[in-house]
């Protein structure tokens, strides 16, 4: 390790209470997180059979409410309660979201993949999983969909399905027939799913098995690539596991950040892993790459507060130079505005310490504005030109 021994990390882990050990441990009681309303009880919710004709403002966002059963439309230019444009019920504990060019948002929930028409703001389908994930629950370890992505032509949705206590799957949904057409075994707890630019490969980032599954979209075969720059010591109890992956535009390399110390650069063709240094010195989760190859990484905060730094957003240029922007409180994912000038960082977080809002980061000045919205907002999608009034 660059600045801390693995023994120190494991000692710090042992000192963390069970209620705060969500990212590391492989269990959980499935209870609703503190401060979250029971699904479907909030009066402002738009029923999935309802919808609205009100157009979304320019640059509107759609966020998944992991602490409820909804997705919420957000005006990031507004402040306070005015930013919340209303919500649509999609299914219990929605996690990832993928937006199609036709304006359909595909949402991974504990119950199935929901399809949402973002123009009319109504759920048009809930596609059940083929994988048996047990009873529908909430919380960090709930079974069901996690990472989700669309094929380049929009014909298929790929969703990583968590099986509590077992090996996950990648389910393939035909977007026209709106049904699951293939199930591929992958690793444990597939936090993230990404697709190669040519659509020939899908990458499932498996948190609890220290690996990425490289899935051939032609024949459905999967190949395991271990990504464990600190080793696999500690197993399910380790904090040093992969979370999210960004696909580098110029060459298709997979970029996986670890601890604000190491960036694993994976060649998905050969499976070779190269390690580069990082500087944020904080536990890291969400990652995305801009069109120019700049990498944006969410730092959730310290494992060991006596040695590690707090939450942040790392902006890493294609040349490896980094700028670290401090954030207030833990966050989970990061999404860029259409012009690449703003980062939206979700406050939902998969462990305790989350908050109900987004941090809106001006990437030019580094200014951070906190925007209260949603119920444990986790994933963010930017509505595009296909939306009424969209950017």
pLDDT tens-digit readout, 39-95: 332 334 444 434 554 666 768 999 999 999 999 999 999 877 789 999 999 999 999
Per-residue CA distances from 270 to 223, 224, 266, 381 (Å): 10, 11, 8, 31
Contact of 63 with 377, CB cutoff 8 Å: yes
What proportions of the chain, in percent to the nearest 5, are helix, strand and coil? Answer: 5, 40, 55
Domain assignment present for residue 42? The answer is yes
Q: How confident is the model at residue 49, as a pLDDT?
A: 38
For residue 255, being part of any structural domain is answered with: yes
User: Is residue 390 assigned to a domain?
Assistant: no
pLDDT tens digits, 165-191 = 999 999 999 999 999 999 999 999 999
CA angle, residues 180, 26, 64, in degrees to nearest 5:
50
The dihedral over CA atoms of 314, 317, 319, 320, expressed in degrees to the nearest 10, equals 0
Residue 21 lies in a domain: no
Q: Please give the tally of structural domains in the chain.
A: 1
pLDDT tens track for 292-344: 999 999 999 999 999 999 999 999 999 999 999 999 999 999 999 999 999 99
Residue 30: inside a domain: yes
pTM (2 decimals)?
A: 0.90
Name the residue with higher pLDDT: 6 or 116. 116
Q: Which residue has the higher pLDDT, 152 or 352?
A: 152
pLDDT tens string 207-248: 999 999 999 999 999 999 999 999 999 999 999 999 999 999
Look at residue 37 and tell me whether its pLDDT is greater than 80.
no
Q: What is the extent of the structural domain holding 40?
A: 6-16+26-382
Q: Output the domain CATH number for residue 357.
A: 2.130.10.10
Domain assignment present for residue 389? The answer is no
Write the pLDDT tens digit of every residue in 107-153: 999 999 999 999 999 999 999 999 999 999 999 999 999 999 999 99
Asked if pLDDT for residue 386 goes beyond 80, the answer is no
Any domain includes 391: no
| pLDDT on residue 254 | 98
In a domain, 80, yes or no: yes
């Amino acid at each position: 390790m660059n600045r801390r021994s693995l023994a120190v990390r494991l000692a710090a882990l042992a000192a963390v209470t069970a209620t705060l050990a969500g990212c590391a441990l492989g269990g959980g009681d499935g209870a609703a997180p503190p401060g979250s309303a029971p699904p479907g009880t909030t009066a402002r919710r738009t029923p999935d059979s309802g919808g609205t004709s009100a157009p979304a403002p320019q640059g509107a966002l759609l966020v998944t409410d992991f602490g409820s059963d909804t997705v919420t439309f957000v005006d990031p230019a507004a402040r306070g309660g005015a930013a919340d444009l209303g919500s649509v019920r999609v299914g219990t504990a929605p996690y990832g979201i993928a937006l199609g060019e036709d304006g359909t948002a595909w949402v991974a929930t504990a119950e199935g993949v929901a399809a949402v028409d973002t123009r009319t703001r109504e759920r048009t389908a809930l596609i059940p999983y083929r994988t048996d994930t047990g009873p529908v629950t909430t919380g960090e370890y709930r079974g069901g969909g996690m990472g989700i992505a669309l094929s380049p032509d929009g014909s298929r949705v790929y969703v990583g399905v968590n099986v509590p206590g077992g090996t996950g799957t990648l389910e393939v949904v035909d977007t026209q027939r709106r049904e699951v057409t293939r199930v591929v075994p992958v690793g444990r707890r597939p936090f993230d799913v990404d697709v190669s630019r040519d659509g020939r490969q899908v990458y499932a980032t498996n948190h609890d098995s220290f690996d990425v599954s490289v899935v051939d979209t032609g024949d459905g075969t999967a190949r395991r690539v271990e990504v464990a720059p600190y080793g696999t010591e500690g197993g399910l109890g380790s904090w040093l596991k992969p979370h999210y992956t960004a696909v580098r535009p110029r060459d298709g390399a997979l970029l996986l950040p670890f601890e604000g110390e190491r960036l694993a650069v994976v060649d998905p063709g050969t499976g070779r892993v190269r390690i580069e240094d990082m500087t944020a010195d904080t536990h890291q989760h969400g990652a995305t790459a801009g069109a120019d190859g700049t990498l944006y990484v969410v730092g959730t905060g310290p494992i060991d507060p006596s040695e590690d730094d707090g939450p942040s957003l790392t902006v890493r240029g294609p040349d490896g130079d980094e700028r670290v922007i401090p954030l207030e409180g833990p966050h989970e994912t990061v999404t860029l505005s259409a012009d690449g000038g703003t980062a939206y960082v979700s406050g939902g977080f998969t462990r305790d310490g989350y908050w109900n809002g987004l941090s809106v980061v001006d990437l030019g000045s580094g200014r951070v504005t906190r925007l209260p919205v949603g119920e444990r907002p986790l994933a963010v999608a930017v509505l595009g030109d296909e939306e009424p009034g969209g950017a």
